[in-house]
Amino acid sequence: MTINGGISFWYATDHTATAPPRAPLTSDATADVVIVGGGYTGLWTAYYLKSSAPDLRVTVLEQKFCGYGASGRNGGWLYNGIAGRDRYAALHGHQAALRLQQAMNETVGEVIGVAAKEDIQADIHHGGVLEVARTPAQLTRLRAFHEGELSFGETDRVLHDATDTRALIDVADAVGSSWSPHGARIHPLKLVTGLAAACERLGVVIHESTPVTEIDPGRARTPYGTVRAPYVLRCTEGFTAALKGHKRSWLPMNSSMIVTAPLAPSTWESLNWSDAALLGDMAHAYMYAQRTADDRIAIGGRGVPYRYGSRTDNDGTTQERTIASLTALLTSFFPVLTGVEVTHAWSGVLGVPRDWCATVTLDRTTGLGWAGGYVGSGVATANLAGRTLRDLVLGASTDLTALPWVNHRVRRWEPEPFRWLGVQALYAAYREADRRETTTHTPATTPLARLADRISGRH
């Protein structure tokens, strides 16, 4: 039987996550910086602020518990992808986007380094990322993607043919792959809970079970009191739409995952999946997977993309049809796993801005700041955002504050029902494009997908 929901498999099976929650806010308070949201973005920001300026009073307000959001539910891809890089290249030039990419490359090592320094045991394994193509059209995209990454300085990336790919991970129908060393497998929840503990050791005040109902310049209101601070940082990513005035800022996009029971050593041998590389593909409705530290496969994909009215899931419960489609995807990648036990399924939300570009912003006149819109590539990006927010708050002009994603503004999403109709149509087009590319074996990307990309503003 598959356990559906319960926040995530990571939460359900990590005993430290069931520790009693931290105390909520009980009265009005003051701080120098108040951070709304106890995920990677909020906690990395708190961590770096307090590390750089120990006298700063930093308070984090979290509606449930640290790691309740995507940071405690994700696929554990700590990798160097950042949403919007190509658009930033178009807006600010190739060199500016190259600096952003280099900063992301360094971020993977930064997270691994801090985890080691703070003794955060997050099952980190630095095995790189293998992105596979399984159709001729995917192979064409893979080659273009590979060349594109080389042009952004990833000269250590390796292109593999079908035979070499299957020797690395035996994915059915693989026709090629691109491997990058800039990726590491993590246990997402262990990283976020370890980070919260590291913040507290530095003196950050964290209040859990404390929902912020409204953010204004100089204050964050909650049902239990208001925290006043010159800087108020919104780090709520996929939950942002629930905040007053933010219904159309970032769209809460669903991503869902399933995980198998631990697989036998002989199964792993037959899959050739020995180095725990992260695994992704080049489909339009792409998948992502990891070999967990306890020898399961955790695999995720879009499922039902969006809930009407920007609603979010109920503690991670996903749709039965999403579990079925992810299970089918798993066995299409690895037919030997047909009938395998799927122990857990869950979902979460990630934040998608109208132009699909991640941003980090501080408005000096109001003291309001925010970071997010990572569109599914937030594990490492949130760390870069945290260091950048630190520099912005401290008024330092640094290499990080000069990156092109800083202070980028974008228009809001359309009102309903257009928002819902648009996202449904977009993913219906991507699924149909994937189906056509699989059945026709055409080497070119289906025009339907290119049209969907153009209309959505995704590429």
Ligand X SMILES: Cc1cc2nc3c(=O)[nH]c(=O)nc-3n(C[C@H](O)[C@H](O)[C@H](O)COP(=O)(O)OP(=O)(O)OC[C@H]3O[C@@H](n4cnc5c(N)ncnc54)[C@H](O)[C@@H]3O)c2cc1C
Contact 316, 268 (CB under 8 A): no
Binding mask 82-101 for ligand X (x = CB under 6 A): --------------------
Q: Select 235 or 282, whichever has its Cβ closest to ligand X.
A: 235
Near ligand X by CB under 6 A: residue from 45, 74, 165, 260: 74
Quick one: CA dihedral 75, 77, 80, 81, positive or negative? Answer: negative
Does 303 help bind ligand X (rule: CB under 6 A)? no
Q: Select 38 or 404, whichever has its Cβ closest to ligand X.
A: 38
Tokens encoding 103 = 């900063």
Does 130 help bind ligand X (rule: CB under 6 A)? no
Tell me how crowded residue 321 is: count the other CB atoms within 10 A of its CB. Answer: 10
Min separation Cβ 402 and ligand X, Å: 22
Binding mask 381-420 for ligand X (x = CB under 6 A): -x--------------------------------------
Span of 13-21, 72-80, 107-115, 440-448 interacting with ligand X by CB under 6 A: 72-80
Nearest CA to 38 out of 267, 205, 221 is that of: 205
Near ligand X by CB under 6 A: residue from 235, 283, 287, 393: 235
Contact 72, 10 (CB under 8 A): yes
Closest-by-Cβ residue to ligand X is 378
Near ligand X by CB under 6 A: residue from 237, 434, 437, 453: 237
Chain residues 201-230 in contact with ligand X, contact rule CB under 6 A: 211-212
Q: Select 135 or 177, whichever has its Cβ closest to ligand X.
A: 177
Span of 19-27, 83-91, 322-330, 369-377 interacting with ligand X by CB under 6 A: 369-377
Near ligand X by CB under 6 A: residue from 45, 63, 80, 292: 63
- Find all residues with CB under 8 Å of 285, minimum gap 6, and list them: 301, 302, 427, 430, 431, 434
- Find all residues with CB under 8 Å of 369, minimum gap 6, and list them: 231, 232, 233, 234, 360, 361, 362, 363, 389, 392, 393
Encode 269-307: b = buried (16+ Cβ within 10 Å), e = exposed.
Answer: eebebeebbbbbbbbbbbbbbbbbbebbbbbbbbbbbbe
Min separation Cβ 74 and ligand X, Å: 3
Q: Select 39 or 176, whichever has its Cβ closest to ligand X.
A: 39
Does 378 help bind ligand X (rule: CB under 6 A)? yes
Tokens encoding 364 = 């000096």
Altogether, the residues listed in the chain come to a count of 459
**Cα distance between residue 111 and residue 188, in whole Å:** 12
Does 120 help bind ligand X (rule: CB under 6 A)? no
Chain residues 20-59 in contact with ligand X, contact rule CB under 6 A: 36-42
Does 257 help bind ligand X (rule: CB under 6 A)? yes
Near ligand X by CB under 6 A: residue from 4, 13, 45, 71: 71
Does 61 help bind ligand X (rule: CB under 6 A)? yes
Contact 8, 344 (CB under 8 A): yes
Peptide bond into 181 cis (omega under 30): no
Span of 129-137, 263-271, 345-353, 426-434 interacting with ligand X by CB under 6 A: 345-353
At residue 384's C-alpha, the angle toward residues 379 and 385, to 5°, is: 90
What is the residue type of 38? G
**Residues in binding contact with ligand X, number by CB under 6 A:** 43
Beta partners for residue 351, in sequence order: 252
Near ligand X by CB under 6 A: residue from 107, 135, 255, 322: 255
Does 75 help bind ligand X (rule: CB under 6 A)? yes
Does 350 help bind ligand X (rule: CB under 6 A)? yes
Supply the DSSP symbol for 21: P
**Cα distance between residue 160 and residue 182, in whole Å:** 16
Which residues of this protein are in contact with ligand X, per CB under 6 A?
36-42, 61-64, 68-71, 73-77, 211-212, 235-239, 243, 255, 257, 288, 300, 348-350, 372, 374, 376-380, 382
